[in-house]
Structure 1
Amino acid sequence: MKNEAAARVFASHYQLVICDDPTIFTEELNWRNGDFERGFAGNERFRMVGTEADLNDHWVEVRIVNDLPELDAWQRVTCVSFQCITGHVHIMSILDNEPSISLDLPNGNYAVYVAGSNLGVDQSSLGEYEKLTDTQLAHRKDVEWYQIFIVPGRPVREGRIKDE
């Protein structure tokens, strides 16, 4: 089983979607009072996690791990509970028809940690306007980018566990 993947994700409406079935979104899952402060919305099978940069164009790396790695280097970490009943996890834009990233994931409960760096920094804020290729974007750690860690078991706490 492949346990990691990476891709460009367009975070439409300033959010990344983490889900086990892209077709289950309903209006009841949308952002409500209090969701912005805690950094996420949705239910355990369809999570939306907030982003910052205006261009909404991010490199996202996903890892399924048994133990959570050290998170000190990250500017923001949002933790959500996640339940998989389809055998898959997808990372995508709320507007995508097809996920940017899909991985096999055993059915069960997980803690998902969305770690971000250089929040709010994109090419336009750096005075750059030429679209980067996927390879170029993958190597740019000076613009907003994310790593998502999927860990078996329920999280001890949800929300923004780090926000600098």
Structure 2
Amino acid sequence: MTDKFLGAARIFASHYQLVICEDPRYIVSDAENWSDDKIARGYAGASAFRMVRTEAHLNDHWVELVASNSPPDLEKWQRVTCVDFVTVSGNVHVMSVIDDEPSISATVEPGEYAVYFAAQNLGVDQLSLGELKDKGGDELTDEEFALRKDFEWYRLFIVRGRPTQCGRIVDRQSPGDIGTTGNG
């Protein structure tokens, strides 16, 4: 698999969700918004504006965006949620639902994509592990936070073409289950 790094950022997951979109100003209709069925499948929105569920709420997550020519190795991730995504302009933005400006912005070829939200350490937030880097109480810098792979974090693989399956395609109970077969 060949991956091209497109960007990374610390993103605040408000209301248990991260967003990938073509236009950050998109307004989600009631029909596109969350419902019980959409919560169960792990995502909501429209093809140009996808909201994907996280496990830890009101917490920062490290998020990386990579363009890839194939899906991620499912055995290496605790959870993988796949969404269909369309960008007519080629613009791709990753952000929180409450952000005015995207945290990550990139350009890809216009068209249809499968985006795989691959996650590790579900539900592990920075406060439960003591984000404070020392007794002085300072918050970790973005550089320090990026190195902390013991918090819930995400790598988004954007792959050209329509996905064959959308929703949660891997959902393991704990990081220790990685490498086992089945979906949890």
- SS class of match (2:25): helix
Give the alignment partner of residue 40 of structure 2, picking from 14, 37, 40. Answer: 37
Deviation at 1:33, TM superposition (A): 2.6
Q: Which moved more, 1:60-69 or 1:142-151?
A: 60-69
8 A contact 1:55–1:122 mirrored in 2 = no
Give the alignment partner of residue 11 of structure 1, picking from 13, 29, 51. Answer: 13
Give the alignment partner of residue 93 of structure 1, picking from 85, 92, 96. Answer: 96
Deviation at 1:132, TM superposition (A): 1.5
- SS class of match (1:142): coil
8 A contact 2:13–2:56 mirrored in 1 = no
**Partners of 1:160 and 1:67 in 2: CA distance:** 17
**Partners of 2:36 and 2:112 in 1: CA distance:** 26
Q: Deviations over 1:77-128 (max 9, x none)?
A: 0000000012210000111110000000211000000000000001222244
Q: Which moved more, 1:35-44 or 1:54-63?
A: 54-63
* Amino acid corresponding to residue 142 of structure 2 in structure 1: D
Give the 4+ runs in structure 1 shifted more than 6 A.
none
**Partners of 1:147 and 1:132 in 2: CA distance:** 20
Give the alignment of 1:50-89 within 5 angstroms: 50-89=53-92
Q: Corresponding residue for 1:157?
A: 165
Unaligned runs of 5+ in 2: 173-184
Q: Corresponding residue for 2:180?
A: none
* Amino acid corresponding to residue 23 of structure 1 in structure 2: R
Deviation at 1:71, TM superposition (A): 2.4
Q: Corresponding residue for 2:141?
A: 133
Q: Deviations over 1:37-92 (max 9, x none)?
A: 00000010000000011342000000011122312111000000000012210000
Aligned residues: 163
8 A contact 2:16–2:58 mirrored in 1 = no
* Amino acid corresponding to residue 155 of structure 2 in structure 1: Q
Deviation at 1:3, TM superposition (A): 4.7
* Amino acid corresponding to residue 14 of structure 1 in structure 2: Y
* Amino acid corresponding to residue 161 of structure 1 in structure 2: I
* Amino acid corresponding to residue 151 of structure 1 in structure 2: V
8 A contact 1:21–1:86 mirrored in 2 = no
**Partners of 1:66 and 1:127 in 2: CA distance:** 37
**Partners of 2:126 and 2:28 in 1: CA distance:** 33
8 A contact 2:87–2:110 mirrored in 1 = yes
Q: Give the TM-score normalised by structure 2.
A: 0.84
Q: Corresponding residue for 1:120?
A: 123
